Amino acid sequence: VINYQRVLAESAIGRDMAAKLQQVRSQVQTEAQALAPESQSIEQEAQRLQGTLRNRSAEQIRADPQAQALAQRQQQLQQRAAVLQGDMECTQILTLREFDRVVTPVVRSVMESRGAGIVLDANSAQLTLPEFDITGAVIQALDGNQATRASNVTRHSVSECQQQAPQQAPAQ
């Protein structure tokens, strides 16, 4: 068995990856905070319009050019915020995929050296004996190899994950 969460938390590559993801998260949060003035402006405009459109029907409000412009601004702001959130989620997904790509050969090597035919995540196993836990050996092997001590984390746009999703769907 292997505790992947522990490998992620304790290995040099896992710690490096977490630090770099935090940098991307900070960058995305800074960009999200930059949307605050636009959000405040929209809120103020909405309050102003509420007073002028108070006695109109829903159809008249929908037809009002100012209400339409405000709705468009709100939609654009929501889209920008969603893109930022999607960028962060996509970055995390692709970074974890890369982590798995690096860790899997090490896990396979430790597994084969111990004569095991299968490795289970410790979270999937109900009960195991400590001598069957390869987590420490995997962390040691990762940390002992300069090539597996650092991760390559770059920001990815949500469109990258959206482009990959159809390719991963099962053929029918």
Q: What is the pLDDT of residue 31?
A: 95
**Residue 70 to residue 73: CA distance in whole angstroms:** 5
Q: Which of these ranges, 15-19, 64-68, 86-90, 167-171, has the smallest mean pLDDT?
A: 167-171
What are the pLDDT digits (tens) for 78-110? 999 999 999 999 999 999 999 999 999 999 999
pLDDT, residue 166, reads 54
Position 171 scores a pLDDT of 46
Question: What is the mean predicted confidence (pLDDT) over 1-26?
Answer: 96
**What's the rounded Cα separation, in Å, for the pair 146 and 141?**
10
Which position has the higher pLDDT, 52 or 94?
A: 94
pLDDT at 124: 92
Task: State residue 34's pLDDT score.
Answer: 94
Q: Is the pLDDT of residue 37 over 80?
A: yes
What does the pLDDT read at residue 162?
Answer: 84
Average pLDDT value for the chain = 91
Question: What confidence tens digit (pLDDT) does each residue in 105-143 have?
Answer: 999 999 999 999 999 999 999 999 999 999 999 999 999
- Output the DSSP codes for 98-154: HHHHHHHHHHHHHHHHTT-S---BGGG-S---GGG--HHHHHHHHHHSGGGS-----
